Structure 1
């Protein structure tokens, strides 16, 4: 049983990670690290977690045998600090995406994990989800011929006052929901994009967007000639899907990204549509079960720190392209692996959750 410390007891930890870990079968939380003692103690009691500590006590806890790995669920600007400290203490790290808020910190995180001989995994839960794997399998098998174009959309509005509206924490729709589209596009084509162009919009009459964009549209060009169009927004109505058009058919995944609903795939070929309804599994349980399997067996995770770095390069290129109005080159080495049946995990849902 792999023991985790949850660093940051906010919404994603309460709604998804803490409930999901009970369903993993090979993981448990033994420590909550939080700046809100009363709330953390209530969560600890509810989830049978023995230890609650403050951020100031984190280094002392790292020196004790209280946990084997950390799940970092903090704002983007805080990922690097806690990841590097955990790595130096010999703890494995599962960190939310994007990996950091700048490339230098992201590279330092990867280096720290390598030097310490621990695993750093970026929390791409969809790499372990059956619908995502099935869609990628159909594309790779040639069901729709050669993939030519992908249209990927994710629009969702955080609540008022959310840190995702803050430039200090590298907030914005591109970083928060657009990263799902970027990650999916890279694995749809099975290669790394080489160029980005983009436009963005920031309304002057909406105070939510005084520091970050409301919407952004980007086009990614891939070495094989594939083109991905990405739309990400914090202003639009909820929408999350992607469509891949090939030389002999197309695949639509809708829904495609959220953990709250089951994924659904429509494959169209020769004007005939095949609909696949996927089981609604617990994404966070599956992700944690996979990472714990990697730790237990000494197997490097597929969605490692380099996977997070690959998306970071694209995020930064899109930002620059939107700012300058010019195409921006991207230089990332090919990935040695992609999500497949080896990374898939199916864990049952749970209603056991406490959310403040």
Structure 2
């Protein structure tokens, strides 16, 4: 049983991570580190023994009471808390994006390598059955050679959310566009070569005084093109579509953890639709990471996977800022998500939202 400390008691921890832990069978939460005034209530609800403040973090990771940490803090705090845990000899599962700068990202990877501990970026879809089935269908040649990827992910973000603040490196690109970007990289099984991008924000909307509301991106891959749109100001949408030389594939829904995935595959006049069962994405990724820790096997979605998306995200920002086509030069990934990583756990209704 791998023992975790959860760092941060915000919405994602309350709504998604903590409820999924008991289903894994190989993980438990030993400590909750938070400044939330009702953190003890949350901990009691989930039978978490310890509640600590951020000032107690270093002593916790230096102790033998935990094996790993899950970092659910704002983006600007990821690197600091991850590096401190890794240097203390603890494994780290950190929410995406990995950090806010390439320097921070590389420092996190270096800390993991120096300590011999695992750093995993929380790409929960890498363990989700519908996503993996789509990637396996593409690799099996079901649509021929993929040549064009399109995707959209958007919803109405509530005013006051920290993801609307530039100081936290907030915005739709970093928060949800990364899902589209990551999907495109694995659909093509390659890294992008160049990017163009544009963004906009409604002038009278108080949510978008610091960040863009809408971002549109075009990426050139060795085999084709990828285009995606992400937004904090649209009706809810989440899909990805891959057009190949001999067919097309559509995942809709495609990204949100609350929804069950549906896969539509068209080959000429033949259309097949596969509706996947609803699964707990967070239980799946946690069970996978704990399996990796127990077996001493590095996770696929390691720090370098998070760094690859970071390089692309920053290039997209540069393209928005300058209007130029920005070239990218990334090494190929040695691994991509595959069927061996699938984990299926039924969703739970046992959650407490403070």
Normalized against structure 1, the TM-score is what? 0.99
Separation in 1 of the partners of 2:70 and 2:210? 28
How far 1:158 moved relative to its partner? Answer: 2.5
What is the CA distance between 1:65 and its match in structure 2? 1.5
Partner residue in 1 for 2:266: 268
Query: Is residue 14 of structure 2 the alignment partner of residue 11 of structure 1?
Result: no
Q: Which residue of structure 2 aligns with residue 197 of structure 1? A: 196
1:152-167 aligned within 5 A: 152-167=151-166
Distance in 2, Cα, partners of 1:238 & 1:329: 32
Task: Please name the residue that 2:343 is paired with.
Answer: 345
Aligned to 1:184: 183
> 2 CA distance for matches of 1:19 and 1:136?
28
Q: How big is the shift at 1:152? A: 0.9
CA contact (8 A) 2:157 2:233 kept: no
Q: 1:305 aligns with which of 294, 303, 306?
A: 303
RMSD: 0.7
Q: Which moved more, 1:203-212 or 1:71-80?
A: 203-212
Pair 1:250-2:285 in alignment: no
Paired with 1:200 and 1:290, the residues of 2 have a C-alpha distance of 36
Name the residue aligned to 1:59: 58
- How far residue 62 of structure 1 moved from its aligned partner, in angstroms, is 1.5
- CA–CA distance in 2 between the matches of 1:337 and 1:21? 26
Give the secondary-structure state (helix, strand or coil) at the position aligned to 1:49: coil
Deviations 1:97-128 (A, max 9, x none): 00001111011111111111100000000000
2:330 alignment counterpart: 332
Alpha-carbon distance in 2 for matches of 1:321, 1:187: 22
Alpha-carbon distance in structure 1 between the residues aligned to 2:315 and 2:73: 24
**Superposed CA offset, 1:34-80 (max 9, x none):** 011x4110011111100000001101111212210000000000000
Q: What residue number does 1:98 align with?
A: 97
2:28 corresponds in structure 1 to: 28
Q: 2:280 aligns with which of 282, 302, 306?
A: 282
Residue aligned with 1:353, SS: coil
1:42 paired residue number: 41
**Runs of 4+ more than 3 Å apart:** none
- Spell out the pairing of 1:139-178 with structure 2 (5 A cutoff): 139-178=138-177
CA distance in 2, matches of 1:269, 1:104: 45
8 Å Cα contact 2:130/2:263 also seen in 1 = yes
CA shift, 1:202, in A, is 1.6
Instruction: Give the TM-score, by structure 2 length.
Output: 0.99
Per-residue CA deviations over 1:215-256 (Å, capped at 9, x if unaligned) read: 0100000122x1000100011110000000000100000000
Q: Secondary structure at the match of 1:342?
A: helix
Question: Cα deviation per residue 1:281-329 (whole Å; 9 max; x = unaligned)?
Answer: 1000000000000000000000000000000011011110011111001
Structure 2: how far apart are the matches of 1:237 and 1:329? 32
- 1:205 and 1:156 map into 2 onto residues whose CA distance is 18
Q: Which moved more, 1:79-88 or 1:197-206?
A: 197-206
Deviation at 1:157, TM superposition (A): 2.5
CA distance in 2, matches of 1:142, 1:61: 49
Structure 1 counterpart SS, 2:149: strand
Q: Distance in 2 between matches of 1:336 and 1:221?
A: 20
- Identify unmatched segments of 5+ residues in structure 2: none
Q: How many residues align?
A: 354
Structure 1 unaligned regions, length at least 5: none
Partner secondary structure for residue 239 of structure 2 = strand
> Does the Cα contact within 8 Å between 2:3 and 2:67 map onto a contact in 1?
yes
Contact 1:156 1:177 in 2 (8 A): no
Secondary structure at the aligned position of 2:84 is classed as helix
